[in-house]
Structure 1
Amino acid sequence: MSIKKIILWIILLVCICSGVVYSGLHRSMDTKLDITAVNDIAQSLAKNWDNIDQMQLTDLDYGMDYVVLDNDMKLVKATRRGLNEDINTAISNRDTIFDIKRNEEVLGKLIIYNDIQERWTRYRNYLFVFAEMVILFAALASLAYYLYIDRSIFQPFRRLKLFASHIAAGNLDVPMEMDERNIFGAFTESFDIMREELKKARESERMANQSKKELVASLSHDIKTPVASIMAVAEIMAAKSQDMMDQKQLNTIYSKAEQINTLIMNMFNATLEELQELKVNVTEQSSQVLYELIKKADYNDMVTYITKAECIVHMDELRLAQVIDNVISNSYKYAGTAIDVSVEINGEFLEVAFQDYGTGVNENELPLLCNKYYRAGNSQGKGGTGLGLYISKYLMNKMLGDILCENTEKGFRVKLKLLIT
């Protein structure tokens, strides 16, 4: 049942009750005296005056209360007790007084009791009861209306709230409860359709990620084969070569191929989108390891040591080699100048600074360099994915250190901070 129908039924019921009350009150408040009935009572009393003591007045009441007095104004008969039994009291109550005559002889007085005051009292009591009934009816109607509103509006909204909490929590398997009787049936159905579409989209995304991982895994086999061949050829050529320069370059090729092979294994065990899966095994090692890692990464022989320091630091040699290789490669790619390396102890950190003499980057871009996929303005025309510094920062943080980028008067500097034991 709709709200409009409920309101119409309530209005109709109130009108019917009001009509019944008005009709009853109109009849009860009719004070017009029935002259015919009064004459009949007077004539009957006159006719039976001599035997009035034995006469039953209830047979002649006509719905009226009255008192019979003799000529001495003494009470002869009354329809009930509590009526006005003398002329003065009757006059003050505005009772109607008639003479009881027989053959023009006045036998006594007939006093018709004026019950208007009692009627008004009954009317007030009746009105009070009616008001209580109306209030009770209104309360019951309000309760019924509230229950209807709660069932048809509030309960669906509470279910929507619970449904939204499931969606917000990522639980897309709980369907929306449908109820065709409430006014939001189509609305809730749309929400459930939305849930189904979100579930399909999530499944599609999961399958796409799975496909991506499978593609990366399949490429790993194809990439590792030529890398292994490069390592084998470089190793053979280095063993056969008699020239020291050639041996050095071949050893560099071999070490880089070996590093590529290790990175490929890590990359295909955990994709770049899932860096938390890249394991970092931090151990305590001498800072002398740094110089060997820098030497292997300097395939253009453009790195010069300015200062060195000796201490024990927290590091993962493989991951630190990856970071140093990325820093030096970036310098070669974007600056193309010599690189000065300074290593010094600053508080609880060993700081390794790589200073090139290029143009650097815009100051506004410095805070963004380590963001995923971000590439500075000087990278136009040069290959790259914007992941190198992002991965490097992640790895340095895992080694309890950090990486900082800054412009200097001479050019651009990248500083690696390693925690000292």
Structure 2
Amino acid sequence: MSIKKVTFLAAAILFFGISVILFVFRSLTETGTDVVAVNDITQTIVEHWDTLDQSALPGRQYSLEYTVLDSHGELVGATRRGLSENIDSAIYNRDTIVDITRNDTVLGKVIFYNNTTERWKHHRDKLLVIFGVNIIFIILFCLIYAVYIDRSIFRPFRKLQAFARHVAEGKLDMPLEMEKGNGFGAFAESFDLMREELAKARENERLANQSKKELVASLSHDIKTPVASIKAVSEVMILNSVIEEDISQLEVINAKADQINTLITNMFSATLEELQELTVTVTEESSVLLGDLIKNVDYNNRATISPIPECIVLVDMLRLLQVIDNIISNSYKYAGTSIGVLANIKGQYLEIEFKDYGRGVSPEEIPLLFNKFYRARNSAGKSGTGLGLYISQYLMDKMSGDINCRNIDGGFVVILRLHIA
């Protein structure tokens, strides 16, 4: 049944109920005294006035109750006790008063009893019953109508609301279920088709990203082999060469090979991290080894390393080497100055500061430096992918450490915090 039909039916029922109530009210005015009977009784009383006897009052066949008074208002007779016996009580009870006349002489009065109170009570009780039945019926119909509206309109919308929430949360495997014959069937079907298309699009996107990551990881791994060969050959040629100019050029080749190797390592590591294949194995290591670690990546010998306090730190030496290599490479690339390395123990951490004397970065860019693929404005014209600091922060987190940076007077500093065992 459509909503229009149900609404029309509800209006018809309400109209019927109101009509019944109005009819009952109208029927209250249709009761009155039988004029023919009153005239007949009055005429009979006139004819038998001189011999009138209470036991033989006329007109009993009309079922009318009345009282007869003489011209002085004295009671002559009554059909039963309890009726009005004077004019005042008759007026109070709204009885019908008729004069008894003969030859234009008033012999007395007949007071016909009008049971107005009883009739009103009867009609009132009848009206209350009809009104109560109508109200109950209308309430029941409204309840049924409310259940129908809830089932046909509000419940489907609640399902649509829950469905939209699931789609927003990414739960695209939960179909939108609608009851058979629901008026919103086509509407709901369109939403479910949208969910299926979104699920297909998300799966295609996931497969494309997976394929891209696997391709980058494969290419990165394949490129590292020839770069390693170039580096090895250049190192051999440097050892065998005696001409200073050749040695200088070979060192440039070696340095560029290192740079390419660093970029490839960053790309490969970022891809592996997204593939959840990048492992960090934390072990207890002596801080004494950190000095040699820094020297190994400082191939331009620009770092001045202050004494490092002896302690045991929790690190993965291979991953820490990757982090320090990225810090020093960035200093070479963006500052091009000497590097000061200072270490101190602060609480449960060994802090190592790498300070250069370049221009640094703008303050508003510092919180963004560790975002993936973000490159500061001072990187214009310089090679890079924006992955180095992102990977470094990821590795430090895995080693229960931290990395941050800030501008200082006359330079820029990067701080590593290694957890002490």
Post-superposition offset of 1:401: 2.4
Post-superposition offset of 1:306: 4.2
Q: Say if 1:41 and 1:174 are closer, same or farther in 2 by CA, change over 3 A.
A: farther
Q: How far apart, in 2, do the equivalents of 1:207 and 1:56 lie?
A: 111
1:97-176 equivalences under 5 Å are: 112-176=112-176
Task: Give the total of aligned pairs.
Answer: 400
Structure 1 unaligned residues grouped into runs of 5+: 102-107
Q: Say if 1:123 and 1:399 are closer, same or farther in 2 by CA, change over 3 A.
A: same
Q: Say if 1:19 and 1:41 are closer, same or farther in 2 by CA, change over 3 A.
A: farther
Moved more, 278-287 or 132-141: 132-141
- Kindly provide the amino acid, as one letter, of the partner of residue 36 in structure 1: V
Task: List per-residue Cα deviations over 1:94-122 (Å, max 9, x = no partner).
Answer: 24558799xxxxxx998643223322222
Post-superposition offset of 1:317: 1.2
Provide the residue aligned with 1:65 in structure 2: 64
1:78-89 equivalences under 5 Å are: 84=83
Q: Say if 1:180 and 1:55 are closer, same or farther in 2 by CA, change over 3 A.
A: farther
Post-superposition offset of 1:331: 1.3
Post-superposition offset of 1:327: 1.2
Post-superposition offset of 1:208: 1.6
Is the 1:90–1:111 contact (alpha carbons within 8 Å) kept by the matching residues of 2?
Answer: no
Provide the residue aligned with 2:396 in structure 1: 396
Post-superposition offset of 1:284: 1.6
Moved more, 405-414 or 387-396: 405-414
Moved more, 365-374 or 24-33: 24-33
Is the 1:287–1:312 contact (alpha carbons within 8 Å) kept by the matching residues of 2?
Answer: yes
Post-superposition offset of 1:369: 2.1
1:369 correspondence with 2:369:
yes
Provide the residue aligned with 2:416 in structure 1: 416
Q: How far apart, in 1, do the equivalents of 2:206 and 2:190 lie?
A: 24
Post-superposition offset of 1:403: 2.2
Provide the residue aligned with 1:296 in structure 2: 296
- Kindly provide the amino acid, as one letter, of the partner of residue 64 in structure 2: D
Provide the residue aligned with 1:352 in structure 2: 352
Q: How far apart, in 2, do the equivalents of 1:383 and 1:242 lie?
A: 30
- Kindly provide the amino acid, as one letter, of the partner of residue 65 in structure 1: L
Q: Say if 1:181 and 1:83 are closer, same or farther in 2 by CA, change over 3 A.
A: farther
SS at match of 1:29: helix
SS at match of 2:219: helix
Q: How far apart, in 1, do the equivalents of 2:241 and 2:190 lie?
A: 78
Post-superposition offset of 1:56: 12
Provide the residue aligned with 1:178 in structure 2: 178
Is the 2:213–2:275 contact (alpha carbons within 8 Å) kept by the matching residues of 1?
Answer: no
Is the 1:29–1:119 contact (alpha carbons within 8 Å) kept by the matching residues of 2?
Answer: no
Is the 1:339–1:355 contact (alpha carbons within 8 Å) kept by the matching residues of 2?
Answer: yes
Post-superposition offset of 1:380: 0.7
Post-superposition offset of 1:315: 1.9
- Kindly provide the amino acid, as one letter, of the partner of residue 144 in structure 1: I
Q: Say if 1:220 and 1:38 are closer, same or farther in 2 by CA, change over 3 A.
A: same
Q: How far apart, in 2, do the equivalents of 1:83 and 1:7 lie?
A: 55
Structure 2 unaligned residues grouped into runs of 5+: 103-107
Q: How far apart, in 2, do the equivalents of 1:15 and 1:274 lie?
A: 71
SS at match of 2:214: helix
Is the 1:403–1:416 contact (alpha carbons within 8 Å) kept by the matching residues of 2?
Answer: yes
Is the 1:316–1:399 contact (alpha carbons within 8 Å) kept by the matching residues of 2?
Answer: yes
Q: How far apart, in 1, do the equivalents of 2:360 and 2:287 lie?
A: 28
Post-superposition offset of 1:206: 0.9
Post-superposition offset of 1:211: 1.6
Q: Say if 1:403 and 1:276 are closer, same or farther in 2 by CA, change over 3 A.
A: farther
Post-superposition offset of 1:232: 6.0
SS at match of 2:30: coil
Q: Say if 1:126 and 1:376 are closer, same or farther in 2 by CA, change over 3 A.
A: same
Provide the residue aligned with 1:321 in structure 2: 321
Provide the residue aligned with 2:331 in structure 1: 331
- Kindly provide the amino acid, as one letter, of the partner of residue 292 in structure 1: D
Task: List per-residue Cα deviations over 1:279-325 (Å, max 9, x = no partner).
Answer: 11121222232222222212223333344443332221111111111
Moved more, 17-26 or 121-130: 17-26
1:119-268 equivalences under 5 Å are: 119-179=119-179, 184-185=184-185, 187-220=187-220, 222-227=222-227, 229-230=229-230, 233=233, 241=240, 260=261, 264=265, 268=268
- Kindly provide the amino acid, as one letter, of the partner of residue 358 in structure 2: G
Is the 1:151–1:182 contact (alpha carbons within 8 Å) kept by the matching residues of 2?
Answer: no
RMSD between superposed Cα atoms in Å: 4.5
Q: How far apart, in 2, do the equivalents of 1:70 and 1:304 lie?
A: 141
Task: List per-residue Cα deviations over 1:128-162 (Å, max 9, x = no partner).
Answer: 22332343233223323322332233312322233
